[in-house]
Amino acid sequence: MLSPMPQTVLIVDDHPGFRLAARALLEAEGFKVIGESATGTEGLEAVVRLRPDLVLLDVGLPDLDGIEVAGRLKGCKDGPAVVLTSSRDVSDYPPHLEHCGARGFIAKAELSGPALLALAA
């Protein structure tokens, strides 16, 4: 039996164009995008306020980077699943990316509903 699809998604990325494209793609594939944030601080606040099942989180944010945000969310009771994303390749990031609490990494160019679901399940 397959794991249920996360019902709600929060997109945290500092590029409005990517947030718009990711929202359209994910909603077309059955996800419910309940919010967007442009900074790590806004993302943390939105998680508390909106309680999403999943956070699609850019690594390169202008204030707190995605690795720091994922680490903070890791400590939250009943916190969301976190999937990191970037326009850069995962090999461009330090090894601690694997230990920050995120379920995985998807390059922005490879974002799809099935890829996100595979990591979130």
The reply to whether 2 falls in a domain is: no
Contacts of 48 (CB under 8 A, 6+ apart): none
Give 72-111 pLDDT, tens digit per residue.
998 777 789 999 998 776 566 566 566 677 888 899 999 9
CA 40 to chain centre: 11
The reply to whether 27 falls in a domain is: yes
**First CA to last CA distance, the chain:** 12
Give 1-55 pLDDT, tens digit per residue.
344 566 899 999 999 999 999 999 999 999 999 999 999 999 999 999 999 999 9
The reply to whether 1 falls in a domain is: no
- Domain harbouring 116, CATH code: 3.40.50.2300
The reply to whether 41 falls in a domain is: yes
The reply to whether 39 falls in a domain is: yes
Q: Which amino acid is at 27?
A: E
Total domain count, the chain: 1
Q: What is the DSSP string of 89-121?
A: -GGGS-GGGGGSS-SEEEEGGG--HHHHHHHH-
Is residue 86 within 8 A of residue 107, CB to CB? The reply is yes
